[in-house]
A and B are shown apart, each in its own frame.
Chain A
């Protein structure tokens, strides 16, 4: 019935609905779609890199374009693909897991998404307007100050806009978890995914400001002639590296911690056992975040900070292996003695453990500052961080998508196609990146456009390219799976015999999430009710009218304003008329901000009768 009603809605109504939505579940859809789009783009860039390196002295693309490819592949995958997809998953699931009806600031949530989207768009438009950024994803001041054209300016403006959105998301999620947990949902009863969302948001809150400042300094140096990184006027380029990695290292934990949460949910659900060592898992998460903030200089061992500083950071880095090891063992012990079901979601989780452990071990190798002088800027590093980011974050994303797809979209993904996604991708990952370790040890430097023949590098690079295409095959099968499943049967509310609150509501969740706020009686609340109650979550309040926030087009328009002013910033160095775009865009956004703040928005109420009707329908 609902589907026919949806089909009757016109296409434009559908678009308008998504442009103005402040519903966390629809914003999650937007994040997944936007992140998925950039994931494909970043994947194509990766394939272009691998085609260029398929044989010695290849001339598939030019050296300059190769630099743009490596820069945009890294930047896109981290800022525009992995993070938004992860934020999308958090948006979709975290409020449901804590029994909330939405996030703390629904309006800001929409604004965060549109800022990410337009920031990403701006960054990628550089391809059309005179060349993309080409100083690597780190964009070190030494290179980026010298880069001609506007590529780096696009990098600055795009990331500044997208980064502002991410920062707001972080604040939003922390506030949500602090103030909006359902009655009985104490901190130590929160599911692990909610915990990791919380800790990740804290990392975002503290890690993004240094990036903001760093981009700001680079922007002023490049566009307005300041001297932060201009050595002739006393500037210091090491500052850039510090600020970048004070952001950059927590960033890798922002990418992996939520996935630790995902795997914890999946292992518990499909082993039909309570997560082993819940408390230890929570504290290990915090410890990883805490230590992760204090080790940024291990990216700068070869800068020459001195033996004392290097030694301190080396020890800190290796210490992170301890809480991570605790987690790995807890997952293994969760499966131990459980009734393990192996399906697509579980396959990704099982594939993650060995892959990520290899990445962790090479991480400890790199963390040894003495050995690092050998590994630095070689393909060993490339192999290492792809093992953790692909083996951790991307496997986690796939696992989470298979696991929560029914809750997010109301359809269960096809099992056969799910397994067909996993195997080529899994084999592809190891083919592509394992040999890269060896190539690095043989002396192949990263970021080089070509390599020479007869240096024993030919075979390894060929294998690596074949692996990359296998990953591409896996990704295509996943897209086919999405399309096929869209025509499949509607998902049940609880297809996996789940343990946490999100499985207590229909699939997909109704727009108000919970007709009555749930009463939580312990960890894994739904499982407790299945074992000790009637399988239904008790209500914490009588059925009454439910307060909801109003939708708004302002977040979308405001982001367009910043998008336009981004162009103004980039091009005002060429022509003063671009100041019109700069100030015009900003003024437009500020005007909208004022409109938003002076117009009272009390939200609206869903009448009790409508909820009663919906509950009756569910009971049937």
Chain B
């Protein structure tokens, strides 16, 4: 009885330890997201770079940030979330096709 209780407690403290580490990672990713945002705003505000560089660069920054959100903030890297991730990637694919249709082949 007491053995299992002690075991449970150590399990609990192990879990807390792990979730503290998790929280640190989330803080770091938040910091990185702030940096990415600052860089994106700075690149536009400085107005020194060519358009052909700025636009793909902004896209890249946004996609990296979205990745941080999904995998660290929304816990998509935890086990048992494969189907959720699959459907999000499906949505991203459908989104890509929609955007391609509306941007590339909508002329007038």
Using a CB–CB cutoff of 8 Å, the interface residues on chain A facing chain B are 174, 178, 202, 205-207, 210, 231, 236-239, 242-243, 246, 293-294, 296-297, 305-306, 309
Contacts and interface: CB of A to CB of B under 8 A. Distances in A.
B108 A231 contact: yes
A297 B97 CA distance: 11
B108 A297 contact: no
B91 interface: yes
A309 B105 contact: yes
A305 B91 CA distance: 25
Interface of B: 83, 87, 90-91, 93-94, 97-98, 101-102, 104-108
A375 B102 CA distance: 25
A309 to B, nearest CB: 5
In order of increasing CB-CB distance, the 4 nearest A-B pairs are A206-B94, A242-B101, A305-B105, A178-B83
A281 to B, nearest CB: 20
B77 to A, nearest CB: 18
Contacts, number: 43
A246 B105 contact: no
Nearest to B104: A309
Contacts of B105: 242, 297, 305-306, 309
Given A202-B87, A206-B90, A296 B108 contact: no
Given A239-B102, A305-B107, 10 more contacts: A178-B83, A205-B91, A206-B91, A207-B94, A238-B108, A242-B101, A246-B97, A293-B93, A296-B101, A305-B105
B98 A210 contact: yes
A242 B90 contact: no
Identify whether the interface residues of B are mostly helix, strand, loop, or mixed: helix
A293 B97 contact: yes
B102 A242 contact: yes
Contacts of B91: 205-206
Identify whether the interface residues of A are mostly helix, strand, loop, or mixed: helix
10 contacts: A178-B83, A202-B87, A239-B102, A242-B98, A242-B101, A246-B101, A297-B105, A305-B105, A309-B104, A309-B105
Contacts of B107: 238, 305
Given A206-B94, A210-B98, A236 B87 contact: no
Contacts of B102: 239, 242-243
Contacts of A205: 87, 90-91
A298 to B, nearest CB: 12
Nearest to A304: B107
A561 B108 CA distance: 40
A242 B83 contact: no
A230 to B, nearest CB: 12
Interface centre among B93, B94, B97 (most CB of A within 10 A): B94
Contacts of A207: 94
A309 B83 CA distance: 33
A205 B83 CA distance: 14
Contacts of B98: 210, 242-243, 246
A260 B104 CA distance: 34
Contacts of B108: 231, 236-238
Contacts of A297: 101, 105
B62 to A, nearest CB: 20
Contacts of A239: 102, 106
Contacts of A296: 101
Nearest to B91: A206
Nearest to A179: B83
B90 A202 contact: yes
Contacts of A242: 98, 101-102, 105-106
A242 B107 CA distance: 11
A246 B93 CA distance: 13
